[in-house]
Amino acid sequence: MNGECEVDLVSDLTCHRCAGELVCAARVPHSFARADGHRVTGSRTVGLCPRCDRDSPAAAAVIAYFTAHGTARADTVGDLAVALRAWLTQSTVE
Ligand SMILES: [Zn+2]
């Protein structure tokens, strides 16, 4: 357990809230302890929707990146990583 957030970008998904097209989705590690103390690990997919998430400043930064660049590009991926981290931190705390 090193606290690193491993992010896989997933494309071509639709929003489960409004059925619109997602800007991106990230698969993030997810683990929780059951009542008996057994630890269950897996992953879950967090979608970023330009409509449903527009009120979130952290999501807006990620949306702005994809609006500007279209996709994750090697020369600017550092900017994306910062924005994604902020967004995921917020998304997974809920
Ligand atoms: Zn949506």
Is the model's pLDDT at 6 over the cut of 70? no
Report the separation in Å between the CA atom of 76 and the middle of ligand 1, taken as the mean of its atom positions: 26
Residue 20 CA to ligand 1 center (angstroms) comes to 5
Residues 29-83 have pLDDT tens digits of 788 899 999 999 888 888 899 999 989 999 999 999 988 988 888 899 899 889 9
Q: Quote the pTM value.
A: 0.70
The mean pLDDT value for 13-19 works out to 92
What single-letter amino acid sits at 25? A
What are the φ/ψ torsions at residue 33 (nearest 5 degrees)?
A: -100, 130
Using the mean position of ligand 1's atoms as its centre, give its distance from the Cα of residue 52 in Å: 4
- Distance (Å, whole) CA 84 – CA 14: 19
What is the whole-number distance in angstroms between the Cα of residue 17 and the centre of ligand 1? 5
User: Which residues are CB-neighbours of 28 under 8 A, at least 6 positions away?
Assistant: 5, 6, 7, 43, 44, 45, 46, 88, 92
Q: What's the pLDDT at 1?
A: 42
Packed helices 57-69 and 77-93: angle between N→C axes, nearest 10 degrees: 150
User: What is the SS3 assignment for 32?
Assistant: strand
Q: How many angstroms does the Cα of residue 91 sit away from the middle of ligand 1?
A: 14
Alpha carbon distance 46, 25 (integer Å): 5
Alpha carbon of 36 to ligand 1 centroid (Å) = 36
